[in-house]
Amino acid sequence: MSRGRAAVASPHHAASRAGADVLRAGGTAVDAVVATNAMLGVVYPHMCGVGGDLFLLHHEARTGEATCLNASGPAPALATRAAFAARGLDAVPARGPLPVTVPGCVAGWEAALARFGSRPLGELLAPAIAAAEDGVEPTERLAGWIAGARELLAAAPLLRERFLGPAGRRLRQPELGRTLRAVATGGAEGFYRGAVADGIDAAMRAADGLLRREDLAAYAPEWVEPVRARHRELEVVVTPPNSQGVTALMMLNALELLGAERLAPGTAAHVEALAAAARAAYAERDAYVADPRFVPVPVERLVDPGAMRRALAAPAAVPARSTLDGDTVYLCAVDADGNACSAIQSLFQGFGSGFVAGDTGVLLHNRGHAFTLTEGAPNALEPGKRPLHTLMATLAYEDGRLRYVLGSMGGDAQPQIVVQLLDRMLRGESPQAAVDAPRTVHGRILGEGGGELVWAEEDVGPALAELEERGVRVEVVPARDERMGHAHAIALGPGGAVGAGADRRSDGAALLV
């Protein structure tokens, strides 16, 4: 593992280069993350962009303080359960205008820069603006996502024109470039008010959507206290509810109780411990985690090891997840002064809602699909409420010193991937080796028969056959399968040296400066 004094990692090499250029010019970790994120919205438009949400954790080297910015948006004022019932719906649909909540990303950029940045927003967005207007060469992975979403993209004239042209054509997004220019000159005001907001409002009204200009104008991100818990020699810090970050802390508690650190990764016993930890932690998550402004979330109880001991002893709960999917970007940076930013940003499912707001070029997320319409449920839809978010970011400290900055794309499976990555680095593996290692994910099967299974990359090894002998249903996926998440990590050593790893399941790069 090569080492430097600053680093950035993301799932696309062009975005990582944009962030590295900022670090090289003396920018802060937040400066680098904003530049990287903006570029990702152009080169990975299926996974992220200004139409989505953002969470970030920041470590300030001068004070040692960890802070969290929750830039996830709420349901519109018109998004009542009655509004969906009147449309004959018993669930929030996955696509179209109805699952769109307020996108928090742009306001999050501005808030983070105001507190921890050193460069103007316009300067940081310039590379992304140029890429949107001049066009980029789609990677093989992006081309595959476009092919898989052909029906969704074909239904929207602008998306059809931009994404479904002749093979080999550069991907140009001039409408998005124009919106980014409005943000570059006007900041969050240029997105949540004025022409961009008017365009979103008009498109929503025309399509019987619920988001309005007033929802956008009222939005502000929130600085919140992260959630912390001990794991072995570390203090692990995660994004708090409405993020699912506490799920990773619960899994870590469970793994300690199960003695998983004594089990070799990839063995049947270790995979079964991971599955047991996930089963218990996700059951607790689904029962209690929601927007704490609307629902009391017993965070202290959830991260207490005693509670997890009881959860492990309880009858088997509904397993963690139903499908392998992940359409999010995780990115991280450490600057030359030792400040760090761990960030995650998303449109939720691939290409989000599939709804683009008029000629703004803003592809809006479908985060409202995560709500339930069941009255009384913690994550039940209410106007102004933020949904339970799969997005989570992580920092880890040892004796008060920042040691790891890490996270992963992967939908519901993000806590499972983060736990495996952290486990391997604690065993002495470099960030790149830990990111490269084979993964497993525990989940459930929908449809006829149901039941539990473990998804496993094919190079997990002999454990696969042993698991099946023990009666565990295993579904093998190819090694370095993108569906098993894009994880990235930065490790900080004594004296300020850093090492970084980017996931080869993505088009990413970890660059040292």
Q: What is the dihedral of CA 165, 170, 175, 177, to 10 degrees?
A: 170
Q: At what angle do helices 105-116 and 29-43 cross, to 10 degrees?
A: 160
Residue 448, C-beta contacts closer than 8 angstroms, at least 6 positions apart: none
Residue at token pair 């996931």: 503
Helices vs strands, H then E, count in the chain: 19, 18
> Of the candidates 164, 1, 136, 4, which has an alpha carbon nearest to the alpha carbon of residue 512?
4
How far apart are alpha carbons 222 and 207 in whole angstroms? 30
328: annotated active-site residue: yes
If we measure between CA atoms, which residue out of 324, 253, 323 comes closest to residue 481? 324
**What does the angle CA 193 – CA 196 – CA 202 come to, to the nearest 5 degrees?**
100
CA distance from start to end of the chain:
14
Write the DSSP assignment of 188-237 as a string of letters.
THHHHSSHHHHHHHHHHHHTT----HHHHHT---EEEPPEEEEETTEEEE
Does 37 sit behind a cis peptide bond, omega within 30 degrees of 0 on the bond before it? no
What Rg, from alpha-carbon coordinates, does the chain have? 21
CA 433, CA 435: separation in Å to the nearest integer?
Answer: 5
Choosing from 247, 328, 360, 372, the catalytic residue is 328
User: What CA–CA distance (Å, rounded) separates 171 from 169?
Assistant: 6
Yes or no: say if 101 and 8 are a contact pair by the CB < 8 Å rule: no
| DSSP states along 424-473 | HHHTT--HHHHHHS--EEEEE--STT--EEEEEEGGG-THHHHHHHTT--
Crossing angle for the helix pair 13-24 and 29-43, nearest 10 degrees?
150
Q: Residue 417 and residue 402: Cα distance in Å, rounded?
A: 20
Q: Active-site residue numbers?
A: 328
